[in-house]
Structure 1
Amino acid sequence: MSESNKPRLEVCMSPALLHLYDVKDSIVVIIDVLRATSTICTALYNGAARIIPVADVAECVRIGQALGAITAGERDGKIAEGLQYGNSPFEYPRSFVEGKTVVLTTTNGTKLLHMAKDARQIITGSFPNLSAVCDYLVSRQQHVILGCAAWKDRVNMEDTLFAGAVVSRIRDHFQVNCDSALLAEQAYLSGKHDLFEFMRGATHFKRLIGFGLEKDVRYCLTPDSAPVLPLLVNNELIAFQG
């Protein structure tokens, strides 16, 4: 396939920049590595029936009560007041989550997901499902926007690194005419041999380590530990059945 006939692959490094991209014509990958999208793929991999992403805590509680579902989420890295569970992937083992519905709200990830609602399709990505994301995007041959949830609209390291990992793996199948994609790829190539060490100076890394969550951070930077593809269907994230 000639370069001009290939679909576009772009990286949006912050929700504040999303209006500059054509989401209606693209698959949007929501990326919130620490920790929303890592937790989403982990819960689905462990058998959760569905995950309902919502924007705020009050809505999370209301829907959770109506459905008899697990209410989960965080604000600023800690379990949000009024919710049962937080945003750690280790809170959702198969023995707990299999067959259940999780209603989830997070500081950054669920916000971006709702902002991208007009996309051709929405999936979620993180290192634990890196290969599943890459394989799916290559198979679909549609325009792609890798949307980083960032941290309160400020560009962050971990989401940029994941976007760079995707670009690095699948760039041959796409047109990459996007400086953000090139920057993300270079960052990933610089740090890929030890992402945990590379992340040490990053703000959210330091925030979570300060909360004693090193185990979470290491898991969220480990490729393919939860190889499932979360797909948004009727405002619910479910595991794609290829």
Structure 2
Amino acid sequence: MGEQKPGLEVCLSPALLHLYDVKNSIVVIIDVLRATSTICTVLYNGASRVIPVATVPECVSIGAQLGENAITAGERDGKIAEGLLHGNSPFEYPREFIQDKTLVLTTTNGTKLLHMAKDAIAIITGSFPNISAVCDYLVAQGKPVILGCAAWKDRVNMEDTLFAGAVVNRIKDHFTVDCDSAVAAEALYITSKDNIHEVMKQASHYKRLAKFGLEKDIRYCLTPDGANVLPIYRNGELVAAE
């Protein structure tokens, strides 16, 4: 008998998270369009940290406390939130703008899931731009994993499910997969992977963002390893793992 491998599960919506053993797992927060793609991009481009917050007033107030070294950013329903200067597009944060700064970020779905998962062994954020860093970390840790999709207002979405399926596909040999959501997510990824942009055109979030002219963002957020760092959540902030 070989050693029992740790479990690998997919939670397709924050509304289902209570069904999973968060306390004894590493949780990967997945909000592909666009929070977790932007978080890894910002850290990849040299930001010192990202502070995820639930509300716009909280974002403004932390930004004010931190002064000129802080950038306040966020979106509500895909648009820059009122009262904030920057949005949720990875292209807003080139190195010359964000290096050594703190991004205070509030998003519609991702931040909520992050706070719900606070009792996990560890919390990291994942998206296609940092998929290799995520997979390498999960395999190295050898602990139970929950791939947590931020979804859209608790409704399952295509892009987060696809990313979860891509991770399952890469690392499943190191884990026990006894979770129908993981099997389904991987099946969706396998049938879509050669044509992911076309498949995504059917997705509600694609249509929502495309309406704002954000196809370039979408393409970046679906492309592997453009910002291959591992954001890890510690003491209320996300920093790039050493």
- Report the TM-score when normalising by structure 1: 0.98
Q: Tell me, yes or no, if structure 1 residue 171 matches structure 2 residue 172.
A: yes
Q: Tell me, yes or no, if structure 1 residue 156 matches structure 2 residue 157.
A: yes
CA–CA distance in 2 between the matches of 1:62 and 1:211? Answer: 28
The offset of 1:158, in angstroms, is: 0.1
1:135-188 CA deviation, whole Å, 9 max, x = no partner?
Answer: 000000000000000000000000000000000000000000000000000000
- Structure 1 runs, 4 residues or longer, greater than 3 Å off: none
Q: Tell me, yes or no, if structure 1 residue 18 matches structure 2 residue 4.
A: no
- Counterpart of 1:201, as a letter, is Q
CA–CA distance in 2 between the matches of 1:171 and 1:34? Answer: 24
Indicate the residue corresponding to 2:28 in structure 1. Answer: 29
Indicate the residue corresponding to 1:217 in structure 2. Answer: 218
Q: Tell me, yes or no, if structure 1 residue 136 matches structure 2 residue 148.
A: no
CA–CA distance in 2 between the matches of 1:161 and 1:88? Answer: 20
CA–CA distance in 2 between the matches of 1:125 and 1:212? Answer: 24
- Counterpart of 2:11, as a letter, is C
- DSSP-derived class of the 2:114 partner: helix
Indicate the residue corresponding to 2:4 in structure 1. Answer: 5
- DSSP-derived class of the 1:102 partner: strand
Indicate the residue corresponding to 1:85 in structure 2. Answer: 86
- Counterpart of 1:67, as a letter, is L
- Counterpart of 2:133, as a letter, is A
Q: Tell me, yes or no, if structure 1 residue 207 matches structure 2 residue 208.
A: yes
CA–CA distance in 2 between the matches of 1:59 and 1:119? Answer: 24
Q: Tell me, yes or no, if structure 1 residue 111 matches structure 2 residue 112.
A: yes
CA–CA distance in 2 between the matches of 1:94 and 1:195? Answer: 28
Indicate the residue corresponding to 1:58 in structure 2. Answer: 57
- DSSP-derived class of the 1:30 partner: strand
Between the two proteins, the alignment pairs up a number of residues equal to 240
The offset of 1:108, in angstroms, is: 0.2
Indicate the residue corresponding to 1:187 in structure 2. Answer: 188
Indicate the residue corresponding to 1:230 in structure 2. Answer: 231
CA–CA distance in 2 between the matches of 1:196 and 1:97? Answer: 28
Indicate the residue corresponding to 2:39 in structure 1. Answer: 40
- Counterpart of 1:189, as a letter, is I
- DSSP-derived class of the 1:194 partner: helix
CA–CA distance in 2 between the matches of 1:194 and 1:36? Answer: 23
| Identity percentage of aligned residues | 75
Indicate the residue corresponding to 2:95 in structure 1. Answer: 94
- DSSP-derived class of the 1:176 partner: coil
CA–CA distance in 2 between the matches of 1:7 and 1:143? Answer: 5
Structure 2 regions of 5+ residues with no counterpart? none
CA–CA distance in 2 between the matches of 1:106 and 1:120? Answer: 23
- DSSP-derived class of the 2:29 partner: strand
- Report the TM-score when normalising by structure 2: 0.98
Indicate the residue corresponding to 1:75 in structure 2. Answer: 76
* Root mean square deviation, CA, Å: 0.8
1:111-154 CA deviation, whole Å, 9 max, x = no partner?
Answer: 10001011110000000000000000000000000000000000
1:16-63 CA deviation, whole Å, 9 max, x = no partner?
Answer: 000000100000000000000000000000000000000010100000
The offset of 1:194, in angstroms, is: 1.8
